[in-house]
Amino acid sequence: MASCVDERYFASARDAGVPIDQLLNLVGAGIVLQPRQLAASAMARLCDFEWGPTEIGYGGARGGGKSHWAIAQLADDCLRYPGLKCLLLRKVGKANRENFEDLRRKVLPGIRTSYNKTEGTLTFANGSVIKTGHFQNSSDVDAYLGLEYDVILVEEATTLTKSKVDDILTCNRTSKPGWRPRAYFTTNPGNVGHAWFKARFIDPWRRGAETETRFVQATVRDNRHVDTGYHAKLKRLTGWKRRAWLDGDWDIAAGQYFTTWRHDTHVRPDIGYGFAEPDWRVWLSLDYGFAHYTAAYLFAIDGDGTAYCLDEHAQRGWLVDAHCEAITAMLERNRIARHRVETILAGGDVFKRESDGERVSDDYERHGYKLERANMSRVDGAAEFLRRLGDVDRTPPLRPSLYISDHCSGLIDCIPGLMHDPARGEDVKKVDCDDDGFGGDDYYDGARYGLMHVATPPPPKLIRTPGRRVF
Ligand SMILES: Nc1ncnc2c1ncn2[C@@H]1O[C@H](COP(=O)(O)OP(=O)(O)OP(=O)(O)O)[C@@H](O)[C@H]1O
Ligand SMILES: [Mg+2]
């Protein structure tokens, strides 16, 4: 049995949710994991159940013990199911291609395995195999496609695009009775795959709404084995690299536009339905789309000039009448009477005449929603967004004047992923959603139109007559 395994270790494994058979399996193999690694391994075992997840993500910063955990978890799987076939895809430079042998000696000191260097296969006594695949570029992983793998583990997953990962996952299938195919991912924030990984793992994790995925965040602070020099090196980093690699901040990516966005500050779960006081100004905004999303927002501003994005309606492929119904429902659940809504601001496309002479805005008007032209300046809108986010990390902090309800999940997921437009640095890069509806900026556009309603200079104060309808 591995040294440093004592009562306390058993207790921490139990606290992390590790089932006893798994714990004995790991300890028997000489594998001693740290609390976050134990939590990730416990989640990997949930993949055994029909109702359990099929994808586990681990990491989120440099030095959090990702590579160590990756091998340990594959060993746990291999030891319990004879003949298991695993693929371990590792992002490596040419220089460290040979490192895998060191790694397996370090992580699996107590297991008899044989490593075939030429084939890159690690074989266990029970016939289970880990095939190691190394990649430097996305295209390198094509060499491993086409076969069937019971388990696939991708290290540095955000260095791969979503379509490349989807390609790899087509190989994640099994013909073994009692085994459920699964995939594990380790990674840091940033890189070309940042957005898909965040959407797939981080956003559901933050919302407490994980279904097929589970994520365990681990930074260098969760790894007591890391040498102080490595830790100090991470601490010397600045800018987005520090936030991504040291802090494991998922709201950062190289080229991120809204670098002052802080999920914990700007997203306010206390902004529930009925949050707006009766004397606050309220209004709606809308970015229209059919193939793309229609994203509508309900805003309010308090007497101090702090704006609140209270609620969101976002759907694609819907006709105008369905959107109007949803917007009406949004007002009702927020207990906002229609006559309080100052305006509904929309992008210019809804006012364009179609071939039949009709405008989308006419459709909305028929349902009682008279749309008005939003200020569509992209650069002004981005500047206003930035201004309202404030800067809580500055000394002294610049207090935000925009808060967003956690009902606005599309907007919350979208803002941190927005990038500078390389051709026009002061603008946000325009991005369309993919075929799955993922990754578009319609949410941001919809909210931007709304925010411009209270941009400086302020519009004249509305003099409200009770019961008067203003749109
Ligand atoms: N459970 C453990 N027991 C012993 N050593 C560990 C354990 N977990 C991690 N380590 C050690 O901590 C160091 C960093 O771990 P590892 O390389 O797995 O982190 P990483 O997240 O993959 O780092 P990077 O971001 O640089 O790829 C390594 O020396 C590793 O051997
Ligand atoms: Mg690593």
Based on the domain organization, do 238 and 300 belong to the same domain?
no
Q: Is residue 166 predicted with pLDDT exceeding 70?
A: yes
- Which ligand is located closest to the Cα atom of residue 104? 1
Q: What is the CATH number of the domain that holds 222?
A: 3.40.50.300
User: pLDDT tens digits, residue range 390-414?
Assistant: 998 888 899 999 999 999 988 988 8
How big is the chain by its Cα radius of gyration, in Å? 26
Ligand 1 pocket: which of 73, 101, 219, 223 to mutate (most atoms <8 Å of CB)? 223
Residue 75 DSSP SS3: helix
CA distances from 294 to 97, 316, 334, 429, 444 (A): 48, 6, 20, 19, 11
Pocket of ligand 1 (CB under 6 A): 32-34, 37, 59, 62-68, 106, 223, 225-226
The residue nearest atom 28 of ligand 1, judged by CA position, is: 226
Is the same domain home to 139 and 172? yes
In a domain, 45, yes or no: yes
pLDDT in tens, 298-309: 999 999 999 999
Whether the bond between 189 and the residue before it is cis, its omega within 30 degrees of 0, is no
What residues have CB less than 8 Å from 166, skipping those under 6 apart?
none
Question: CB neighbours of 455 closer than 8 A, spacing ≥ 6?
Answer: 375, 380, 384
397: CATH: 3.30.420.280
Amino acid 403: pLDDT: 98
* pLDDT > 90 in the chain, percent: 66
Domains: count for the chain: 2
Shared domain for 221 and 334, answered yes or no, is: no
Which residue's CA lies nearest to atom 18 of ligand 1? Answer: 65
Higher-pLDDT residue of 160 and 37 is 37
Question: Which atom, in ligand 1's list, is nearest to the CA of 68?
Answer: 18
66 alpha carbon to ligand 2 midpoint, in Å? 5
The per-residue b/e assignment along 54-76, b for 16 or more CB within 10 angstroms, e otherwise, is bbbbbbbbbbbbbbbbbbbbbbb
State both tokens at 201: 């793992």
Among 3, 73, 225, the mutation site with the greatest number of ligand 1 atoms within 8 A of its Cβ is 225
Is residue 237 located within the same domain as residue 290? no
- For residue 39, give both structure tokens: 């939590």
Q: Which of 213, 246, 279 is the last residue of a domain?
A: 246
What pLDDT sits at residue 465?
45
Higher local confidence (pLDDT), 110 or 24: 24
Report, as an integer, the average pLDDT of 313-330.
96
Q: What single-letter amino acid sits at 452?
A: M
Q: How far apart are CA 36 and CA 18, in angstroms?
A: 11
Global pTM value: 0.66
At 416, the amino acid letter reads P
Residues 299, 222, single domain; the answer is: no
Q: Are residues 204 and 339 in the same domain?
A: no
Tokens for 123, please give them: 């074989």
Placement of tokens 């805005």 in the chain? 361
Q: Whose CA is nearest to atom 2 of ligand 1?
A: 33
Does position 460 have pLDDT exceeding 80, yes or no?
no
Nearest ligand to the C-alpha of residue 59?
Answer: 1
Asked whether residue 193 is domain-assigned, the answer is yes
The CA 62 to ligand 2 mean position distance, Å, reads 7
Which of these ranges, 217-226, 277-286, 331-340, 408-417, has the smallest mean pLDDT? 408-417
Whether the Cβ atoms of residue 160 and residue 186 lie closer than 8 Å to each other: no
**Do 296 and 215 fall into the same domain?**
no
CA of 67 to the centre of ligand 1 (A): 6
Per-residue confidence (pLDDT) for residue 259, from 0 to 100: 85
| Distance of CA 305 from the midpoint of ligand 2 (Å) | 47
Q: Is pLDDT at 370 greater than 90 in this prediction? A: yes
pLDDT at 459: 44
* Residue 29 dihedral angles phi and psi, to the nearest 5°: -90, 5
Ligand with an atom nearest the CA of residue 245: 1
Closest CA to 168 of 188, 143, 187: 143
Residues 284 and 231 in one domain: no
Looking at per-residue pLDDT, the higher value among 96 and 89 belongs to: 89
Say yes or no to pLDDT of 457 above 90.
no
Q: What is the C-alpha to C-alpha distance for residues 218 and 72, in angstroms, rounded to an integer?
A: 16
**Lowest mean pLDDT: which of 256-265, 287-296, 336-345, 452-461?**
452-461
Q: Closest Cα partner for 450 from 333, 330, 332?
A: 330
Identify whether 297 is part of a domain.
yes
pLDDT at residue 470 tops 50? no
Q: Which atom of ligand 1 sits closest to the CA of residue 103?
A: 31
> What is the residue range of 34's domain?
7-246
In a domain, 434, yes or no: yes
Residue 438 has what pLDDT?
55
Let me know: does 145 contact 87? Beta carbons within 8 Å: no
d(CA 153, CA 135): 13
Helices in 145-273 by DSSP H: which ranges? 162-169, 194-197, 203-207, 228-235, 239-241, 263-266
| pLDDT band for position 439 (cuts 50, 70, 90) | low
Q: CA-CA distance, 235 to 261, in Å (whole number)?
A: 21
* Domain final position from 246, 273, 293: 246
The residue ranking higher by pLDDT, 452 or 431, is 452
Do residue 225 and residue 323 come from a single domain? no
* Rounded Cα gap, residues 2 and 76, in angstroms: 15
- Going by pLDDT thresholds of 50, 70 and 90, the confidence category of residue 467 is very low
**Does residue 417 form part of some domain?**
yes
Alpha-helix residue ranges (DSSP H) falling in 16-146: 20-28, 35-46, 66-80, 99-107
Distance from C-alpha of 39 to C-alpha of 42, rounded to nearest angstrom: 5
> Is residue 259 domain-resident?
no
Average pLDDT of span 118-139: 89
Task: Give nearest CA residue, ligand 1 atom 4.
Answer: 225
Residue 139 is predicted with a pLDDT of: 75
Position 466 in a domain: no
**Do 366 and 308 fall into the same domain?**
yes
DSSP assignment, residue 3? T
Residue among 3, 27, 68 to mutate when testing ligand 1 (max atoms within 8 A of CB): 68
Task: Specify if 253 maps to a domain.
Answer: no
Q: pLDDT tens digit string along 59-83?
A: 999 999 999 999 999 999 999 999 9
Ligand 1 atom index nearest CA of 34: 1
For CA atoms 87, 51, 167, 442, the dihedral sign is negative
Peptide bond into 396 cis (omega under 30): yes
Judgement on whether residues 149 and 276 belong to the same structural domain of the protein:
no
Nearest alpha carbon, ligand 1 atom 15: 65
3-class SS at 331? helix
Looking at the DSSP assignment, which residues form a beta bridge with residue 214? 56
pLDDT for res 426: 82
Q: Which residues of 275-303 are buried (b: 16+ CB within 10 A; e: fewer)?
A: bbeeebbbbbbbbbbeebbbbbbbbbbee
36 CA to centre of ligand 1 in angstroms:
12
* pLDDT, the chain, mean: 89
User: Which ligand is nearest the CA of 103, by number?
Assistant: 1
* Residue 374, C-beta contacts closer than 8 angstroms, at least 6 positions apart: 285, 345, 346, 347, 348, 449, 450, 452, 453
Secondary structure (DSSP) of 178-203:
T---EEEEEE-S-STTHHHHIIIIIH
Q: Which of 177, 211, 246 is where one domain is finished?
A: 246
- Find the ligand nearest to 226 CA: 1
| CA gap 278, 412 in Å, rounded | 26
Q: Helix (H) and strand (E) counts for the chain?
A: 16, 17
Are 378 and 409 within one domain? yes
Phi, psi at 443, each rounded to 5°? -65, -45
User: Which tokens hold the place of 260?
Assistant: 């002052």
Q: Calculate the CA 90 to chain-centre distance.
A: 22
For 239: left if phi > 0, alpha if psi spans -120 to 50, otherwise beta; the answer is left
Report the residue among 33, 226, 231, 245 best suited for mutation to probe ligand 1: largest number of ligand atoms under 8 A from its CB: 226
For residue 204, say if its preceding peptide bond is cis, omega within 30 degrees of 0: no
